Amino acid sequence: MANVGGLDRVLRFVFGVVLILVPFVAPSMPALAGLGNWGWLIGAMGVVMLLTAIFRFCPAYVPFGIRTCERE
């Protein structure tokens, strides 16, 4: 039962990859150097976004009845 549509899926994938890279890039960037352990939390959020894009299902959409894809 997919509830994540095309544009939503692409955006989740792109932002997920970017967020996953934050903990690795942050120490070398002065603007992000102060993240510390928060960088890993941001990276974990990126993994969740990436997984929701891959499986086309977002559990947070269910209670609100949100669907960004067409009905099957």
- Span of 2-6, 14-18, 39-43, 59-63 with lowest mean pLDDT: 39-43
Closest among 34, 10, 40 to 22, alpha carbons compared: 40
| pLDDT at position 14 | 97
| pLDDT at position 72 | 60
CB 61 within 8 A of CB 4: yes
Residues 6+ apart with CB under 8 A from 61: 3, 4, 67, 68
Q: What's the pLDDT tens digit per position in 24-69?
A: 887 777 777 777 778 889 999 999 999 999 999 999 999 999 999 9
- The full set of domain ranges for the chain reads 6-58
